[in-house]
């Protein structure tokens, strides 16, 4: 049996209108900046009028992630934080800031999911206990990861709901 040549069948038409990759400076409605967020926040995504601003507090990140004895690494945590906030940016872009506990939980679940894949991909423990651990073995690793994502999403949602004026009942 021979493997059919992909070239002879031509390019499927749905692949011809692929958008070019985003470039730095593209006007996509997302602004990334660095600055002091005050308190213990490491990063934050905020949307207003269809524009999302993602702020990273690198001093706070350094304080939180340096010299931990849990198998995590500062560089991996920063990469994970970028993935986390980037996912919030994607979620917020389509529907704005969360307007309910359920929306907040949904976007935190997406964000911790993205973050956890970074630790898995880099094979480094997460500083967020239970989000990813290199000692997890299959077949349970996938379940542990999902439990970790849900647990951190719940914690994050509780913190969000405890803020003054939060849209929680």
Using CB under 5 A, list all residues that contact Zn ion: 108, 111
Which residue's CB is nearer to Zn ion, number 73 or number 109? Answer: 109
Q: Decide: helix, strand or coil at residue 47.
A: strand
Which residue's CB is nearer to Zn ion, number 57 or number 108? Answer: 108
Task: Tell me the closest approach of the beta carbon of residue 163 to Zn ion, in angstroms.
Answer: 13
Task: Tell me the closest approach of the beta carbon of residue 85 to Zn ion, in angstroms.
Answer: 7
Which residue's CB is nearer to Zn ion, number 96 or number 134? Answer: 96
Task: Tell me the closest approach of the beta carbon of residue 113 to Zn ion, in angstroms.
Answer: 11
Q: Decide: helix, strand or coil at residue 39.
A: coil
Task: Tell me the closest approach of the beta carbon of residue 33 to Zn ion, in angstroms.
Answer: 17
Residue nearest to Zn ion as judged by C-beta position: 111
Task: Tell me the closest approach of the beta carbon of residue 55 to Zn ion, in angstroms.
Answer: 12
Q: Over the range 132-155, which residues count as b (16 or more CB within 10 Å of their CB) and which as e?
A: bbeebeeeeeeebbeebbbebbee
Please tell me the distance from the alpha carbon of residue 113 to that of residue 80, in angstroms, as a whole number: 10
Which residue's CB is nearer to Zn ion, number 111 or number 149? Answer: 111
Please tell me the distance from the alpha carbon of residue 84 to that of residue 44, in angstroms, as a whole number: 9
Which residue's CB is nearer to Zn ion, number 92 or number 108? Answer: 108
Please tell me the distance from the alpha carbon of residue 57 to that of residue 152, in angstroms, as a whole number: 20
Please tell me the distance from the alpha carbon of residue 52 to that of residue 9, in angstroms, as a whole number: 42
DSSP 53-113: EEEE-HHHHHHHHTT-SSS--HHHHHHHHHHHHHHHHHHHHHH-S--SHHHHHHHHHHHHH
């Amino acid at each position: 049996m021979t493997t059919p040549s992909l070239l002879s069948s031509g390019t499927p038409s749905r692949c011809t209108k692929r958008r070019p990759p985003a470039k730095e400076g593209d006007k996509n409605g997302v602004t990334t900046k660095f600055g002091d967020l005050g308190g213990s926040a490491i990063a934050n995504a905020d949307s207003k009028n269809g524009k999302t601003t993602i702020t990273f507090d690198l001093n706070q990140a350094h304080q939180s992630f340096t010299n931990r004895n849990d198998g995590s690494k500062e560089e991996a945590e920063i990469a994970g934080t970028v993935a986390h906030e980037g996912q919030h940016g994607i979620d917020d872009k389509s529907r704005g800031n969360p307007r309910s506990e359920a929306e907040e939980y949904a976007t935190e679940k997406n964000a911790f999911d993205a973050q956890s894949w970074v630790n898995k991909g880099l094979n480094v423990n997460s500083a967020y206990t239970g989000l990813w651990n290199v000692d997890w073995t299959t077949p349970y690793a996938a379940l542990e990861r999902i439990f970790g994502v849900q647990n951190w999403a719940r914690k994050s949602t509780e913190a969000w709901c405890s803020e003054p004026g939060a849209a929680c009942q």
